[in-house]
A and B are shown apart, each in its own frame.
Chain A
């Protein structure tokens, strides 16, 4: 557990340029990246005609960890759930705008959500292992997608996924135990293992560590750091320290608007927007 605290709340450099006013809600910072994995254009979400987020433009780059921070109810989780259309399950939810993946809008009527979700996996705030054995938890996704043909392949996949999620040594003797019998941190790593078992390209994480203790959190942060070599990871977090430790880019949301997006160091050391500075210096939120 040799987690390095790279940044904290450092004092601002004196003599910087003036900040954007609090009333200004246009996104500041670099929304676009070169060769993005997913590209969101003017995304808005309404719950029963009540606006949750609006006018979000944001690119998600390849093999990057992008963190989304902001006060509660700012729409960061709503935005995250747009990326694999998990909002479809909420009755009365309407998504506007475009989210392009491989040049195709995922909200087009001819897009099937099932392969999309296999491509864009998700890990939730509360660990939600299925009420099945540890083995079946991992094998479930691969089986329904036909990624494995026989018991040997399944074994290999289960072992591989558990190893990648750093859970193998802890559970190798009890794969037939129910997934719910594990501790909270282990359950969350099981959920990550379950997500990577279907071989997604993007992994969405919605406050994956908020119900975990600091040690379990550190293990998962290390894991995220390793996973970014193969996957694109978008993570919503309440912990600014966590965002600064694990992400390359950070997006700050406020009351349904994307206020600022930029390299993580810049957001935390030298934000452009007054609201961002208020938040990271702990003035609210």
Chain B
């Protein structure tokens, strides 16, 4: 029985369990005077039976799948001739790889020694046995579970409470999954970053003013000393994100104020979706827009005014990125401004406030937490954006605050460090993880600070 067949069988059993449980419940209660004598409605007895049928069997199934290959490999390796087993670990892994390839029916280079062939056959037979055992165990478990619940169904069985408990656990699982994924990502980045910091000291990374991630392949090479100072890269990120926010926050906020406070229904119904389309344009499209339209325009304007502007500039990337994140600010701000109760506006207007006074003194303070939330989201988008910067701001890590020069950002450097064939234990590659960690820490600090600001200045409304 293959995996698919097994899952189909389990599904059938589960469905059958549902109907068996439900009909048993109906049968039990009809002897005593109808469904009102049951603790729960019949459908809950059905769901309970189905859950008992499916969940334990699936858990066993999952664990089996996870551990089967490791256990079988260990068994096969233990049976290999001594001369192969005593090979160094790296070579042994190659042998095991060959073995797995033979089992999977792939073409293997070189001659296959009889010992390996025998081991492969052994592997295959173990796998067959395992699969068969799994099928039997899972099917039997499911059936036993159905029978067990069937026997236990009485009017007093609190089926609904049991089902609700299971659903609650399911919901808990979903909510913790996201948390654990985050923790997992942080840990994996942290692990690689620590390896990096063993090669390059932390203070040189954090405070170094030069970024030139080269590592020598052999010692006498020219330019063999790499420089891993993150300051220019971080400053580049800040510069571009700063320009983007200077564009997006005023434009987005004012657009939101117009849409929610001044515009009539018809205009709003047309304009809001159109504005949100901006968020749906792929960033690579923004990227070539920035590189082919905005950057030359800025350079020409600069030339006319007598500035020297490089053809790839932080300003071009920042401007286009700002346009891109307008909808994050405007759409979220619009929603929170709309959520401010009309009664507050009425109160202010009835005191003789003008519309603008009402907005500035009453509506915006009440909407502040949501607006800051939208701005924060926009900041993280700006910091994390890669494509526009690659295309419009260049790759050279200049330490400058001049928006007319080419700069680079953390994310762009991560991409360039990891693209292509890389040696995974070189400082050059590992630097990407250190940069990732730094970016993560910066965003985290930004979030915490913004939260504190909001908590201090927020104005509660009922």
Chain A residues in the interface with B (C-beta under 8 A): 84, 86, 89, 91, 114-119, 121-122, 124, 126, 128-132, 140-141, 144-145, 178, 180, 191, 194-195, 198, 204
Expressed in whole angstroms, the minimum distance between the Cβ of A70 and any Cβ of chain B is 21
Q: Tell me whether B164 is interfacial, beta carbon within 8 Å.
A: no
Q: Does B81 contact A (CB under 8 A)?
A: no
Contacts of B348 in A (CB 8 A): 130, 140
A195→B460 CA distance, assembly (Å) = 21
Contact of A131 among B265, B352, B459 (CB under 8 A): B459
Chain A's nearest CB lies how many Å from the CB of B353? 6
* Chain A residues positioned under 8 Å from B353 (CB to CB): 114, 141, 144
Asked if B365 CB lies within 8 Å of chain A CBs, one says: yes
In the assembled complex, the CB of A22 is this many whole angstroms from the nearest CB of chain B, namely 35
CB neighbours (8 Å) of A131 from chain B are 344, 362, 365-366, 459-461
Q: Is there an interface contact between B362 and A130, defined as CB atoms closer than 8 Å?
A: yes
Query: What is the bound-complex CA distance between A115 and B343, given in angstroms?
Result: 20
Identify which of A115, A116, A130 contacts B347 (C-beta below 8 A): A130
Identify which of A121, A131, A178 gathers the most chain B CB atoms within 10 Å of its CB: A131
Query: Judging by beta carbons under 8 Å apart, are B345 and A89 in contact?
Result: yes
B56 within 8 A of A: no
Q: How far is the CB of B97 from chain A (nearest CB, A)?
A: 66
Taken together as a complex, chains A and B put the C-alpha atoms of A119 and B351 apart, in Å, by 9
A117 touches B351 (CB 8 A): yes
Whether A144 contacts B357 by the Cβ 8 Å rule is yes
Other A-B pairs beyond A124-B346, A130-B347, A144-B353, 12, CB < 8 Å: A86-B349, A89-B349, A119-B352, A121-B352, A122-B346, A122-B350, A130-B348, A130-B362, A132-B365, A141-B352, A178-B460, A180-B462
* A198 to B352 alpha-carbon distance, docked (Å): 9
Residues of A within 8 A of B459 (CB): 130-132, 178
Nearest-neighbor residue (CB-CB) of A203 within chain B: B350
Q: How large is the interface on B (under 10, 10 to 19, 20 to 34, 35 or more residues)?
A: 20 to 34
Residues of chain B at the chain A interface (Cβ within 8 Å): 264-265, 341-354, 357, 361-362, 365-366, 459-462
Which residue of chain B lies nearest to A117 when distances are taken between CB atoms in the complex? B352
In Å, the complex CA distance between A126 and B343 comes to 8
Q: In the assembly, what is the distance between CA of A149 and CA of B304, in Å?
A: 50
Chain A residue nearest in CB terms to B344: A128
Q: A195 touching B352 by the CB < 8 A rule?
A: no
Residues of A near B350 (CB, < 8 A) are 84, 86, 117, 121-122, 124, 195, 204
Do A194 and B351 form a contact, CB below 8 Å, given A91-B264, A131-B366, A144-B361? yes
Which of B345, B346, B366 has the most CB atoms of chain A within a 10 A radius of its CB? Answer: B346
Cα–Cα, bound, A90→B365 (Å): 23
Can you pick out 15 interface pairs between chain A and chain B where the beta carbons lie within 8 Å of each other?
A84-B350, A86-B350, A91-B265, A117-B351, A119-B352, A121-B350, A128-B346, A130-B344, A131-B461, A140-B348, A141-B351, A144-B357, A180-B460, A195-B350, A195-B351
The 9 A-B residue pairs whose C-beta atoms are closest, nearest first, are: A118-B352, A131-B459, A122-B350, A141-B351, A128-B343, A117-B352, A128-B347, A131-B461, A131-B366
Docked Cα-Cα span, A33 to B347, in Å, equals 30
CB distance from A212 to the nearest CB of B (A): 15
Contacting residues, chain A, for B344 (C-beta < 8 A): 128, 130-131
Q: A176 → chain B, closest Cβ, in Å?
A: 13
Distance, CA A130 to CA B364, complexed state (A) = 12
Contact yes or no, B460 A86, CB < 8 A: no
> For residue A91, which residues in chain B have a CB less than 8 angstroms away from its CB?
264-265
Report B148 CB to chain A, min CB distance, Å.
Answer: 56
For the complex, give the distance between the alpha carbons of A185 and B185 in Å.
53
In the bound complex, what is the Cα–Cα distance between A191 and B264 (angstroms)? 30
The residue on B at minimum CB distance from A92 is B265
Measured between alpha carbons, how far is A158 from B350 in the docked complex, in Å?
Answer: 18
> What's the Cα separation between A121 and B350 when bound, in Å?
6
CA distance A178 to B345 in the complex (A): 17
A254 to B357, CA, bound (A): 37
Of B265, B341, B357, the most chain A CB neighbours within 10 A belong to B357
Bound together, the chains give a CA A116 to CA B342 distance in angstroms of: 20
The reply to whether B351 and A198 contact each other, CB–CB distance below 8 Å, is yes
**Shortest Cβ distance from B156 into chain A, in angstroms?**
46
- Residue among B343, B460, B461 making CB contact with A124, cutoff 8 Å: B343
Residues of A within 8 A of B264 (CB): 91
B369 to chain A, nearest CB (A): 11
Q: Which residue of B lies closest to A115 (CB)?
A: B352
A178 to B347, alpha carbons, bound, how many Å?
Answer: 16
Chain B residues whose CB sits within 8 angstroms of the CB of A122 once the complex forms: 346, 350
A117, chain B: closest CB distance, angstroms: 4
CB pair B352 A124 closer than 8 Å: no
B259 smallest CB distance to A (angstroms): 14
**Distance (Å) between the CB of A166 and the closest chain B CB?**
20
CA A150 to CA B42, docked complex, whole Å: 73
Q: How far is the CA of A132 from the CA of B342 in the complex (A)?
A: 16
What is the CB-to-nearest-CB distance from B359 to chain A, in angstroms, rounded to a whole number? 12
Q: How far is the CA of A42 from the CA of B461 in the complex (A)?
A: 39
Q: Is B461's CB under 8 angstroms from A191's CB?
A: no
Is A124 within 8 A of B347, CB to CB? Answer: yes
A263 CA / B349 CA spacing, docked (Å): 32
Complex Cα spacing A140 to B354, Å: 12
Complex contact B341–A128 (CB within 8 A): yes
A-chain residues with CB within 8 Å of residue B361 when the two chains form the complex: 130, 140, 144
Report the nearest B residue to A88, measured CB to CB: B349
Query: Complex formed: what's the CA distance from A121 to B349 in Å?
Result: 9
Contacts of A119 in B (CB 8 A): 352
A192 → B minimal CB distance (Å): 12
Complex CA distance for A100 and B381, rounded to whole angstroms? 56
- Asked if B461 and A180 sit within 8 Å, CB to CB, the answer is yes
